[in-house]
Amino acid sequence: MSSSFDFTVVDQVLSANNNSSQYIIAILQDIQEHYRYLPREIVPYLSEKLGMSEAKIYSIATFYENFSFEPKGKYVIKVCDGTACHVRHSTPVLEALWKELGLSKEKHTTDDLMFTVETVSCLGACGLAPTMMVNEQVYAAMTPEKVLAVLEELRGRG
Amino acid sequence: MSEKQYMTIDGIPVEINGEKNILELCQKIGVKMPTFCYHSDLSIYGACRMCMVENKWGGIEAACSTPPRAGMEIKTNTERLRRYRKNILELLLANHCRDCTVCENNQKCKLQDLAMRFNIEGVRFPNRAKSTKNDDTSSVCIVRDAGKCILCGDCVRVCNEIQNVGAIDFAHRGSKMVISTAFGKPLAESPCVGCGQCAAVCPTGAIVVKNNIKCVWEAISNPNVRTSVQIAPAVRVAIGKELKCQDGENVMGKIVAALRRMGFDEIYDTTLSADLTVMEETAEFIERLENGGKLPLITSCCPGWIQYAEKKHPEFLENISTCRSPMQMMGSLVKDQNKDKEQKMFHVAIMPCTAKKFEASRPEFMKDGEPDVDAVITTQELILMIKESGLVFDELEPEAVDMPFGTVSGAGVIFGVTGGVTEAVLRRVSESKSRASLLQAANAGQRGMEGIKEFYLPYGDRQLHIAVVSGLGNAERVLLRASAGEHFDFIEIMACPGGCVNGGGQPYFSNAKEARSKGLYEADRMLSIRRSQENPVVNSVYKKIIKDRAHELLHVHYTAKKDD
């Protein structure tokens, strides 16, 4: 299984971080930035290169909400469900996304790996509530209708 | 000269004398602080918050992680602290499978202990614990149950800090936090070597030794099966305390009497096969020394170490002695003696060790699909069986083990403590090379509880570099030096700190290893035969049973496991 995995990217990340277990969080972040998630194959590989147990790396990666061992879609949609967004009807926005993409509280990513839908607790833009983010871009004052239009546009981009 | 420094605990002035934390000072004035996560051999974690103390301004601090300072005034037992401790216990109990009567750790549990000590009369919160003990049955050595885990992290720290194994760690966070292998893989697929040190430090029943008592009773009751049993050296000095004798007291005779009363047909002492190990391993060592064989020679008695080498250091497998462990030597001899008999032989080994359960199940030790050792039970399980039998252990009259493996030497007895194998080999080598006395062999530098002991010994015109190591973390340090090019001739490695006396299958008390090793050295001194080669039974076993089959019966080759 691991023999078919190409570790070139991981090697680059490791050398950019001094091959040091001290920088394990930075290393995991860089790897995740490239793959949009943490492929499981990297754990035994990092364990050997950094002299750190697999269980410890798994421990760190599962502690932080931001790391994921599940593959994520090309577009990661983060719907804010903080207090301000919640009272300004973020739930219908989320439900519209789920319904349109066939996702749910348990299933976050579409089978074609195009979309991942997550909730976050605050994007720090409460004045624009309800908000959401698609990858690095923020969308303000969302409604179920606007969400469908955004999806349409993203699909058009491919 | 610096002045003496004092702090005040419960109104009593206490001298500060280099103590690392307030907890140690509390012990000095006779206060036993409640703790779950504090172990003097492990790093300080400060997770359980049971050892909180109140300072004079009303602030509270954890005694385990607060260094003492001159002039400090603290109290260890106030209304507020009692309330806090009760709250912590109640919250832990709300997340704990409270089926104490059917728990392996019943009456040995720190949570049970402290719940009683703090007079917990009820738990106000709903119980959310779920047993997971049937989720992962892959390990033949230990069983884990997250439903009893209090997340003190003792197992994680012993596995990482002392053993350098790193099979388990915390995973996830908050209310979802669990102790887990990487990706929750079955323990048997993790780096776990089965040493059982996690079970030894676990304050509750969340990690326990796998219980194999049932099949042993069944064999004893089966009229078509003959049962034989071997008792390892370290068991005889560790069984006492739970059966109203002293910890460290050699109660071998009573154990033999108990086993005979329980119904075993043949009872042997693993010490005899330890004598055989000395003969074979010394021959191998001299052979390698004389003929330029692979050095260092590393001992092969410890199955935890063997698994560690297979999983982490396959490059050293060639260095490991080809001698089977004493348990497996005895197993193959007993089975060989019985091979032409009609009645099936069921051979049980009583060991201080959880990893021995794995060793017995290895394919290397199967003949025609049948294991040489059919069941391994630990000292803890033997205690349970004796209790179940209703025998009043402390009143039993001592008895002797059976022939043809009856007489043992002191060299075999000390196998149970770190340095023992080395000393036994020295006693064998010294005779063949010089007139060095037993006393010299005893003082060469292998005795004591330090994790790494090193010394040089003259052999012909060279100096042999010998290392005696216990604890796999220490083994790692020595192996790294050997890999870097440092020359060693002989390395003894025992996975458990202090050797088998402190094995994962032994009853756990703090500081038990000192008393137990003293007990073994005493047993050694009380034997008239102290060198393996002087044991007449060793000679007769070679002449009558082994003959020219030493390789078949006493040796094994471990080969590197391929990653899947």
Architecture per CATH, domain B214-554, reads as 3-Layer(aba) Sandwich (3.40)
Is the pLDDT at B528 greater than 80, yes or no? no
Cα–Cα distance measured from residue B70 to residue B197, given in angstroms and rounded to the nearest whole number:
37
Contact A128, A138 (CB under 8 A): yes
Strand B73-75 and strand B5-9: the pairing is parallel
Is the pLDDT at A2 greater than 60, yes or no? no
A5 touches chain B (CB under 8 A): no
Give residue B225's pLDDT band: very low, low, confident or very high (50, 70, 90). Answer: very high
Residues A45 and A86 in one domain: no
Residue appearing with tokens 């060693």: B488
Three state DSSP letters for B282-335: HHHHHHHHHCCCCCCEECCCCHHHHHHHHHHCHHHHHHECCECCHHHHHHHHHH
What average pLDDT score do residues B313-325 get? 94
Task: Judge whether B19 counts as a catalytic residue.
Answer: no
Is the pLDDT at B561 greater than 80, yes or no? no
**A117: distance to nearest CA of chain B, Å?**
21
**Three-class secondary structure of residue B474 per DSSP:** helix
The most distant pair of C-alpha atoms in chain A lies apart, rounded to whole Å, by 51
Residues A95 and A148 in one domain: yes
CB < 8 Å to B168, chain A: 55
Residues A58 and A99 in one domain: no
pLDDT of res. B479: 96
Is the pLDDT at B293 greater than 60, yes or no? yes
Is the pLDDT at B74 greater than 70, yes or no? yes
What average pLDDT score do residues B261-279 get? 93
- Asked if CATH classification 3.30.70.20 holds for the domain at B5-77, the reply, yes or no, is no
Cα–Cα distance measured from residue A72 to residue A60, given in angstroms and rounded to the nearest whole number:
19
DSSP for residue B237:
G
Q: Is A94 left (phi over 0), alpha (psi -120 to 50) or beta?
A: alpha
Task: Judge whether B103 counts as a catalytic residue.
Answer: no
Interface test with B, best of A41, A50, A58 (most B CBs within 10 A): A58
Task: Judge whether B192 counts as a catalytic residue.
Answer: no
Q: Cβ A53–B167 below 8 Å, yes or no?
A: yes
What average pLDDT score do residues A106-116 get? 91
Mean pLDDT is highest, among A146-150, B508-512, B555-559, for: A146-150
Lowest-pLDDT range of A75-79, B173-177, B436-440, B527-531: B436-440
- Pick the residue from chain A with its C-alpha nearest to B181: A55
A59 touches chain B (CB under 8 A): yes
**Three-class secondary structure of residue B62 per DSSP:** strand
- Interface contacts (A, B; CB < 8 Å): 47
CB < 8 Å to A68, chain B: none
Task: Judge whether B431 counts as a catalytic residue.
Answer: no
Q: Cβ B169–A63 below 8 Å, yes or no?
A: no
Q: Cβ A55–B166 below 8 Å, yes or no?
A: yes
Give residue B439's pLDDT band: very low, low, confident or very high (50, 70, 90). Answer: low
Give residue B438's pLDDT band: very low, low, confident or very high (50, 70, 90). Answer: low
Is the pLDDT at B82 greater than 90, yes or no? yes
Give residue B435's pLDDT band: very low, low, confident or very high (50, 70, 90). Answer: very low
The count of residues in chain B is 564
Cα–Cα distance measured from residue B418 to residue A151, given in angstroms and rounded to the nearest whole number:
68
Q: Cβ B169–A59 below 8 Å, yes or no?
A: yes
Which CATH number does the domain housing residue A121 bear? 3.40.30.10
pLDDT of res. A20: 93
Measured CA distances, B126 to B93, B109, B113, B177, B551 (Å) = 10, 22, 21, 19, 61
Residues A149 and A98 in one domain: yes
Region B100-108+121-209: CATH code = 3.30.70.20
The predicted-structure confidence for B176-215, as pLDDT tens digits, reads as follows 999 999 999 999 999 999 999 999 999 999 999 999 999 9
Mean pLDDT score of chain B? 90
The count of residues in chain A is 158
pLDDT of res. B526: 84
The predicted-structure confidence for B442-484, as pLDDT tens digits, reads as follows 777 888 888 899 998 888 788 889 999 999 999 999 999 999 9
**A73: distance to nearest CA of chain B, Å?**
22
A53 touches chain B (CB under 8 A): yes
Top-confidence residue, B42 or A46? A46
**A130: distance to nearest CA of chain B, Å?**
28
Structure tokens at B479: 């192996």
Q: In this complex, which of B165, B169, B173 lies closest to A58 when CB atoms are compared?
A: B169
Last residue within a domain, chosen from A27, A42, A63:
A63
Residues A105 and A31 in one domain: no
Q: In this complex, which of B168, B183, B190 lies closest to A40 when CB atoms are compared?
A: B183
Residues A14 and A81 in one domain: no
pLDDT of res. A100: 93
Task: Judge whether B522 counts as a catalytic residue.
Answer: no
Residues A40 and A96 in one domain: no
CB < 8 Å to B172, chain A: 62-63
Residues A143 and A101 in one domain: yes
Measured CA distances, B84 to B45, B54, B87, B420 (Å) = 19, 11, 5, 47
Residues A27 and A95 in one domain: no
Residues 114-133 of A with CB under 8 A from B: none
A24 touches chain B (CB under 8 A): no
Domains of chain B: which residue ranges? Answer: 5-77, 100-108+121-209, 214-554
A152 touches chain B (CB under 8 A): no
**B87: distance to nearest CA of chain A, Å?**
26
Contact A62, B171 (CB under 8 A): yes
Is the pLDDT at B2 greater than 90, yes or no? no
**A141: distance to nearest CA of chain B, Å?**
32
**A100: distance to nearest CA of chain B, Å?**
31
Decide if A68 is inside a domain. no
- Name every residue in B having a CB less than 8 A away from some CB of A: 160, 165-173, 180-183, 190-191
Q: Cβ B191–A53 below 8 Å, yes or no?
A: yes
* Sheet arrangement for strand B462-470: B297-298, B490-494, B462-470, B452-459
Cα–Cα distance measured from residue B469 to residue B482, given in angstroms and rounded to the nearest whole number:
13
Q: In this complex, which of A56, A62, A69 lies closest to B166 when CB atoms are compared?
A: A56
CB < 8 Å to B171, chain A: 55, 58-59, 62-63
- Pick the residue from chain B with its C-alpha nearest to A57: B182
Q: Which of B285, B234, B541, B243 is nearest to B414 (CA)?
A: B234
Residues A43 and A93 in one domain: no
pLDDT of res. B433: 47
Decide if A69 is inside a domain. no
Cα–Cα distance measured from residue B256 to residue B248, given in angstroms and rounded to the nearest whole number:
17
Strand A115-120 and strand A132-134: the pairing is unpaired
Catalytic residue among B48, B64, B159, B500: B500
Q: Cβ B183–A53 below 8 Å, yes or no?
A: no
Lowest-pLDDT range of B54-58, B321-325, B401-405, B485-489: B401-405
A18 touches chain B (CB under 8 A): no
Q: Cβ B182–A58 below 8 Å, yes or no?
A: yes
pLDDT of res. B66: 93
Task: Fill in the amino acid letter for B199.
Answer: A
CB < 8 Å to B191, chain A: 53-54
Give me the DSSP letters along B163-224. Answer: T-----EEES-GGG-EEE-GGG--GGGSS-----HHHHH-SSSSEEEPP-HHHHHHHHH-TT
Cα–Cα distance measured from residue B121 to residue B146, given in angstroms and rounded to the nearest whole number:
24
| pTM of this prediction exceeds 0.95 | no
Q: Cβ A54–B170 below 8 Å, yes or no?
A: no
Give residue B564's pLDDT band: very low, low, confident or very high (50, 70, 90). Answer: very low
Residue appearing with tokens 């974690």: B45
Decide if A70 is inside a domain. no
Q: Cβ B182–A63 below 8 Å, yes or no?
A: no
Residues A82 and A136 in one domain: yes
Residues A92 and A144 in one domain: yes
- Pick the residue from chain A with its C-alpha nearest to B173: A63
Decide if A27 is inside a domain. yes
CB < 8 Å to A41, chain B: none
pLDDT of res. B563: 47
The predicted-structure confidence for B103-145, as pLDDT tens digits, reads as follows 999 989 999 999 999 999 999 999 989 899 889 999 999 999 9
Strands (E), chain A: 75-80, 115-120, 132-134, 137-139
Catalytic residue among B15, B218, B287, B364: B364
Question: Cα angle at B275 between B270 and B277, to 5 degrees?
Answer: 95
Give me the DSSP letters along B354-408. Answer: SHHHHHHT-GGGEETTEESS-EEEEHHHHHHHHHHHT--GGGPPP-PPPTTS---
Percent of chain A with pLDDT over 70: 98
Task: Judge whether B356 counts as a catalytic residue.
Answer: yes
Q: Cβ B183–A57 below 8 Å, yes or no?
A: no
Mean pLDDT score of chain A? 92
- Dihedral angle at the C-alpha atoms of B476, B477, B483, B487, nearest 10 degrees? -120
pLDDT of res. B406: 82
Catalytic residue among B242, B359, B381, B423: B359
Residue numbers of the domain that contains A126? 75-157
Q: How many structural domains does chain A have?
A: 2
Contact B24, B65 (CB under 8 A): no
Catalytic residue among B104, B249, B266, B281: B281
Catalytic residue among B108, B110, B356, B513: B356
